[in-house]
Amino acid sequence: MKKKILIKPLSVNKVWQGRRFKTKDYKEYEENVLNLLKGVKKVNGFIEVIYRFYIKNFSMSDVGNFEKPLSDIIVKSGIISDDKYILKMTLEKFKSDKEYIEIEIKKLSM
């Protein structure tokens, strides 16, 4: 299916009214992911990011909900300077007894 929708995309930054606060769960997740990303080499310029989420609760999970917090953490880690440089993104989820994330970042030539 291919459909052109003639409307300006709405950024998640314009979705919420008022301030949003990080939950305790997010703070712990952010800290854990940042620790696991230590030593990963920085990628400059325009990039493609491939996220693969391996999850137990496969049918109840919205793969789009996993991306934004993870992209923000990758920026905070310094691996990429800003998520505005992501030109291409693939989100995949897989049913798995073991839950984990694979991240692949590729530099794009322009």
Tens digits of per-residue pLDDT, 31-82?
999 999 999 999 999 999 999 999 998 888 888 889 999 999 999 999 999 9
Task: Check pLDDT > 80 for residue 13.
Answer: no
How many domains are contained in the chain? 1
C-alpha torsion 48→54→55→61, nearest 10: 20
In a domain, 73, yes or no: yes
User: What is the residue range of 66's domain?
Assistant: 44-110
In a domain, 85, yes or no: yes
- Quick one: pLDDT at residue 60? 83
Handedness of CA 77, 60, 86, 39 (dihedral sign): positive
In a domain, 65, yes or no: yes
What is d(CA 85, CA 13) in angstroms, rounded to the nearest whole number? 17
- Quick one: pLDDT at residue 80? 96
This prediction's pTM: 0.86
- Residues 14-30, mean pLDDT to the nearest whole number: 84
In a domain, 109, yes or no: yes
Collect all residues with Cβ–Cβ distance below 8 Å to 63 and sequence separation of at least 6: 53, 91, 92, 93
Task: Check pLDDT > 80 for residue 108.
Answer: yes
- Quick one: pLDDT at residue 110? 75
Residue at token pair 């979705």: 15
In a domain, 3, yes or no: no
Q: Which one-letter amino acid corresponds to residue 32?
A: N
